[in-house]
Amino acid sequence: MENKSPGHLFQKLFFSYSAVLILIVGVLILYSVSSSRTRMLETNQDYAGKLCGEAVLEVSRVSSDADYLHRAIYQNSSELEDLLNYFRYDTEEYLKRHLDTYASSNTLDNKDIYSYVENAYSAYPDIKEIEFISYTNNKTTVFYSENDIRVNHEGRERRKEILDGGLAMPGSYSFQKEIRDPLSMRMEGCIVFTFDTGSMKKIQEKYPMAEVYLYHKNGNQVFPGADSLLLEDFQQKDADKKLGSYIQLQSVEDYIVAARLDKHTAASVPAVHIFAILGIGAVLVITGEILISSYLKRLTKRLDGILQGMDQVQTGNLKVQLPEHEHGDELDMIAHHFNRMCRELESYIQKSYLAEIEQQNAEMQALQSQINPHFLYNTLEAIRMKAICNGDREVGKMLYSLAVTFRSQLKEADVITLMQELHYCKKYLELFEYRYQGKFRSSVECGPELSNIPVIKFILQPIIENYFIHGIRMEESDNEIRIYARCVEEDLYIHVEDNGRGMPGKDMESKNRELRNNEMDTRKSIGVTNVNRRLRAAYGDTCGVFLEAGRPRGMHVILKLKVRERETDEESNAGGG
């Protein structure tokens, strides 16, 4: 068979993957352009809706301003009385009554229609004019500004003009408010508030892609002005198709707001977006080609490594091992079986030598298993009795404490009472009292209500042992260790406080992090870590060991356990041996 280099496979796979990549990127480009058109259409339709909505809000705001100005007349009796006089009487009689009212007033600040107009122009800058029309004498007064006032007696013609739709003109729109006498409820006249369309122009500038139109219900166009689309153009059948636009119509008060968005403009994707999509596609193709080339090079390199390994086996080197990954691909499986074959061949060759080593190991384990822990316990008890018989009660007491401690690890159940655990703890402390006489004091406290709470055994001895290894100050004689238990709701807290050397802040923070993460560093002391892992396994992740700095010195170790969760285990474990 002809030998072929991995390069042949590389070329075939590279061209195949490249064709697939280009096809996928092309489809993605078409999909992206189509999606962009859809998104642009939805965005622009929403855009036109916002334009129409803001225009409606603007008309509603202006209408509310007119309503407020109308109500303000009735809230000030002097202004209302002055306006009613203005409507009822001619100019000479009105001025006479106005002066009489002013003269009889106790204040200098007498309200009249002129102060009312002045306040209206100050509060609402977009007011274009305020018009008073009397129904009694047909007098019409128009305030174009605070100082530009025009009076005529064409009220009847003006009222007819209003009825014919004269409230709406290009560039301005008005609201008519009737004025009644509160006592007789007779209509004396009306006020016409005319507003400029400057705010509507600002809204149009804010949304330049769409167009907004404002019409009076009779068809008069208010905004943007003459020589544009009529209201009938929007209300005709199939107006959106005839105008080639998306149309929205909303009525507010006596006005109709129309928003128009050209369909071609709404769905068009900006050239910048198309170039961006094409650029991203090109980047994807180039990046994909680089990744494919890199992947195929690694693949052919692995194939070349397998071939080289086979060549070495042919030369008799059975120790060759190919790199492999546990959850790899088929090449890793080939490498795994190749390595296994080499190991089995090597094992077969060295079979007799390895068998002899295994025999020696078995004999060593048999010797070690002959050491019986119960034999050690019984021997300690025999030595203790011998010491008592010889009158050495202190040695006997030491041996008794050691035997009790040793027995607690052999014969007790996995779960014991808190009182038992503290009893073994006292015996363990007694051994150290003999060892370090006069160097430290100890105290163990437990209320009777806590004595029968079940706990897993052997959780305090490693903490105490850790204190005597790392915390006790041998050069001082005021060493003290205190052990006490407290119960808070369903949680049991066992506190171990000492006044020893303590632990630097950074080391304590690192150790607490290790305990929270349930980690174990076998290169360091594992007593505290072992207790923490056992507590978390037995009572849940919220329990465990927590370290704090002692006050004013030393270490404060807190063991947190659950009370109720272990009560059901007490009887099942009480008979354990």
pLDDT in tens, 325-368: 776 777 777 877 788 887 777 677 666 555 455 444 433 343 33
Q: What is the pLDDT of residue 6?
A: 58
pLDDT in tens, 283-332: 888 988 888 888 888 777 777 777 777 887 778 777 777 777 776 777 77
d(CA 407, CA 420): 12
* Token pair for 548: 């704090």
Mean pLDDT within 164-192: 85
Q: Give me the DSSP letters along 356-385.
A: HHHHHHHHHHHHHTT--HHHHHHHHHHHHH
3-state secondary structure of 456: strand
Strand order in the sheet with 544-549: 440-445, 479-488, 491-498, 555-562, 544-549
pLDDT of residue 373: 47
Mean per-residue pLDDT, 269-277: 81
Q: How many other C-beta atoms are found inside a 10 Å radius of the C-beta of residue 144?
A: 13
CB 18 within 8 A of CB 231: no
pLDDT level of residue 427 (50, 70, 90 thresholds): confident
Question: What are the φ/ψ torsions at residue 29 (nearest 5 degrees)?
Answer: -65, -45
**What is the reported pLDDT for 157?**
82
Cα–Cα dist 456/462, whole Å? 13
pLDDT band (50, 70, 90) for residue 271: confident
71 or 237: whose pLDDT is higher? 71
How many Å apart are CA 556 and CA 551, to the nearest integer?
Answer: 8
Q: Which residues pair with 50 in a beta bridge?
A: none
Asked if residue 355 lies in contact with residue 327, where contact means CB atoms within 8 angstroms, the answer is no
Residue 98: is its pLDDT beyond 80?
Answer: no
Query: What mean pLDDT comes out for the span 411-421?
Result: 79
What pLDDT, on a 0 to 100 scale, did the predictor assign at position 440?
Answer: 86
Residue 571 has pLDDT above 60, yes or no: no
Q: Which fold has domain 412-574?
A: Heat Shock Protein 90 (3.30.565)
Would you place residue 523 in the very low, low, confident or very high pLDDT band (cuts 50, 70, 90)? low
Q: How far apart are the first and last CA of the chain?
A: 71
Alpha helices in 244-372 (DSSP H): 263-267, 271-314, 330-349, 351-368
Peptide bond into 6 cis (omega under 30): no
Highest mean pLDDT among 33-47, 107-121, 129-143: 129-143
Percent of the chain with pLDDT over 90: 13
Q: What is the DSSP letter of 107?
A: S
Q: For the whole model, what pTM was predicted?
A: 0.45
Per-residue pLDDT band at 565 (split at 50, 70, 90): very low
Predicted local confidence at residue 482, as pLDDT: 94
Pairing of strands 168-169, 415-417: unpaired
Residue 564: per-residue pLDDT: 62
CB 131 within 8 A of CB 140: yes
d(CA 371, CA 129): 113
- How much is the pLDDT for 385? 64
pLDDT at 200 over 80: yes
pLDDT score at 544: 94
Which pair of tokens denotes residue 428? 């363990």
Question: What average pLDDT does the chain have?
Answer: 79
Conformation bin of residue 225: beta by default, left when phi > 0, alpha when psi is -120 to 50? left
CA of 218: how far to CAs of 225, 289, 341, in Å? Answer: 15, 67, 97
Q: Is the pLDDT of residue 491 over 90?
A: yes
Does position 558 have pLDDT exceeding 90, yes or no?
yes
Task: List, for residues 5-16, the tens digit of each pLDDT value.
Answer: 556 767 777 888
For the chain, give every domain's residue range.
Answer: 56-269, 323-370, 412-574
Comparing 224-238, 414-428, 431-445, the range with the smallest average pLDDT is 224-238
* Cα distance between residue 53 and residue 49, in whole Å: 6
| CA distances for 539 relative to 113, 164, 413, 462, 492, angstroms | 84, 87, 17, 19, 11
SS3 call for 547: strand
Say whether pLDDT at 575 is over 60: no
How many whole angstroms separate alpha carbon 297 and alpha carbon 477? 72
| Helices assigned H by DSSP within 167-238 | 198-206, 231-235
Q: Select the more confidently predicted residue: 341 or 545.
A: 545
Tokens 């042992």 belong to residue:
465
